[in-house]
Amino acid sequence: MMAAFIFVVSVVIFLQFFVFYCRSLIAVSSKQVLSPEVQEVTGIQKTASGEDFNRVMQLLHLCPERPEDRKGIQAIGAYFRMLSFVGSTVARLVPSMKSWTDSERGHCTYFAAIALERRISFSRDMLAQQIDA
């Protein structure tokens, strides 16, 4: 019984840490402005929608990977899936949760768009280095 209690408390603490970590990643990216090029490619003008997340992630995976972005993108992807699960279960019972999960999913999409912009810039820099060499 004690082991089950410790396990449940550990999972709750891990989830709390994970949510705070993801929200800190999102907060950093929300301060950056998308370039007009990325806005055109992703279709995101001012606010991002959670419905665009999968499409932006597909575009993100088409670009060469930056090693420093890998863990953040994986964490935000897991956070997005968790929010989708909460949105389809708990938010049906609590209407205020629905608007919060929709907003958070939009922030996840914006994070992915910022990561796409970084990867496009990284690709351009790599191409410039190859041309110079």
Task: Judge whether 84 and 105 are in contact, CB under 8 Å.
Answer: yes
Give the residue from 47, 57, 46 showing the smallest Cα distance to 79. Answer: 57
Tell me the Cα Rg of the chain: 17
Report pLDDT digits (tens) over 24-42. 999 998 888 888 888 888 8
Q: Which tokens in the block code for residue 89? A: 């279960």
Report pLDDT digits (tens) over 63-114. 888 888 889 999 999 999 999 998 888 878 888 888 889 889 999 999 999 9
pLDDT attached to residue 133 = 66
* CB atoms inside a 10 Å sphere around CB 113: 27
* 3 state SS of 10: helix
Q: Which domain holds residue 23?
A: 2-132
Q: Is the pTM of this model over 0.85?
A: yes
Count of domains for the chain: 1
